[in-house]
Chain A
Amino acid sequence: MHNTDIFMNNLPLFIPLILLEVGLDVAALIHIFRHQNYRTGNRILWVLLTLLVNPIGAILYFVVGRETY
């Protein structure tokens, strides 16, 4: 079986998975660009982590990167 076949055969599993991960990334990116200061790291680091390491980057940002007041 080709990779695309596997993907098409399991659409009910893949679609929600993709939606969730993209949604989390968008939420993290919006938060990153609306804030100036971060608890650790800087803006470039968090944008790269969010976009490249899916979905751990976004989760890490919300747990340790987000500034708490």
Chain B
Amino acid sequence: MRATWFFIRKELLESWRSYHLLIIAVVFVIFGIEGPLMAKLTPEILKMASGSGMTIKMTDPTSLDSWQQYYKNMTQIGIYVLAVIFSGTISGEVSRGTLINLVTKGLPRYSVVLAKYIVAYFQWCLALVTAFFINWVYTAYYFSDNKSPNVLTGLWPLLIFGSMFVAVTIFGSALGKSNYLGFLTAVVAFIFLTLLNLFKDVKRYNPISLVTDNMSLVKGTEKISHIMPAVWITILSAVVLVYLAVLLLKHKKL
């Protein structure tokens, strides 16, 4: 455990020095500001685009529009930005040969995977929570209505989903030597889960529900208990994937 703790510190330092933390901070603060901004500007943009020939009746933007922008940004771009940043984390060290010294000096190989997973998941939570709070402040300032009562209920399924998504990326990164394999695995897994959602009976158990049902959770039209099975399956598959990644690295030539 001591070794894992030291490796976690090394990972955090690396994330700082390789500018990854800076990029994550800037990108997700931008996303946080962009949500309310796009919610405010969309009626204006549509008005300009439509010209004078026709009139579109636009309702005034509400807090729901702002949160919709947030969840759209997070699930369509945000998680891929994070996947790109995490994707080379194990494969990069293996191809550069930087693990050889540490492992021969007695660093257990499971520590490497565990520490990388913890640090990546920490950054995931940090990124989403930062964007969330900035969005929240602006939304409360610009759209003070009662249309989104359960704001926090929408967020935490997204954080839970991260535990699996990061595990998939780390697992993919342990598979081969290419820096992009982790990203590719994450994308393939996401597409596979999305296709699985075509079957109606699977929806409650599909981890993808954690990132598609956020808006109905915020509105209060859906109870969190409805997707509870998906939450447990997500956590379970995260544990299994991290274990598989440990096994992969154990039998890998460094």
Assembly CA distance A21 to B27 (angstroms) = 9
- Among A17, A27, A55, which residue has its beta carbon within 8 angstroms of that of B33? A17
- B44 near A1 (CB under 8 angstroms)? yes
Instruction: Determine, out of B15-23, B195-203, B212-220, the stretch whose residues face the partner at the interface.
Output: B15-23
Nearest CB in chain A to that of B47: its residue = A1
Q: In the complex, A44 Cα to B138 Cα: how many Å?
A: 38
B29 touches A20 (CB 8 A): yes
Chain B residue with minimal CB distance to A69?
B96
**Binary flags per residue of B21-52, CB closer than 8 Å to A gives 1, else 0:** 01100110110011011001100100000000
Q: Is the CB of A63 within 8 A of B29?
A: no
Task: Count residues of A near B (Cβ-Cβ below 8 Å).
Answer: 20
In the complex, what residues of B have CB within 8 A of residue A23's CB? 26
A49: interface (CB < 8 Å): no
The CA-CA distance from A17 to B38 in the complex, in Å, is 13
* B85 interfacial by beta-carbon distance below 8 Å: yes
A10 lies within 8 A of B33 (CB) = no
Name the one of A13, A14, A16, A59 contacting B23, with C-beta atoms under 8 angstroms.
Answer: A59
Measured CB to CB, the closest approach of chain A to B63, in angstroms, equals 15
Q: Residue of A at shortest CB range from B18?
A: A68
Instruction: Give every chain A residue within 8 A of B40 (Cβ-Cβ).
Output: 10, 13
1/0 per residue, CB under 8 A from A, across B144-155: the answer is: 000000000000
Closest residue of chain B to A17, judged by CB?
B33
Contact partner of A12 (CB less than 8 A), chosen from B18, B19, B85, B141, is: B141
- Count: A-B pairs, CB below 8 Å: 46
- B36 neighbours in A (Cβ, 8 Å): 13
CB atoms of B23 and A20 under 8 A apart: no
For window 1-48 of A, CB contacts with B under 8 Å fall at 1, 6, 10, 12-14, 16-17, 20-21, 23-24, 27, 31
Query: Is A63 a contact partner of B33 (Cβ separation < 8 A)?
Result: no
What is the bound-complex CA distance between A1 and B48, given in angstroms?
9
Interchain CB contact under 8 A, B33 and A16 = yes
Which of B22, B26, B27, B138: most chain A Cβ within 10 A?
A: B26
Q: For A14, what are the chain B residues with a Cβ–Cβ distance below 8 Å?
A: 37
Is B141 within 8 A of A63, CB to CB?
no
- Name 30 interchain pairs, CB-CB below 8 A, sorted by A: A1-B44, A6-B41, A10-B37, A10-B40, A10-B41, A12-B141, A13-B33, A13-B36, A13-B37, A13-B138, A16-B33, A17-B30, A17-B33, A17-B34, A17-B37, A20-B30, A24-B22, A27-B19, A27-B22, A31-B19, A55-B26, A59-B23, A62-B19, A62-B20, A63-B23, A63-B84, A63-B85, A66-B18, A66-B19, A68-B18
Given A16-B33, A20-B29, A31-B19, 18 more pairs with CB closer than 8 A: A6-B41, A10-B37, A13-B36, A13-B40, A14-B37, A17-B33, A17-B34, A17-B37, A20-B30, A21-B30, A27-B19, A27-B22, A55-B26, A55-B27, A55-B30, A59-B26, A59-B27, A62-B20
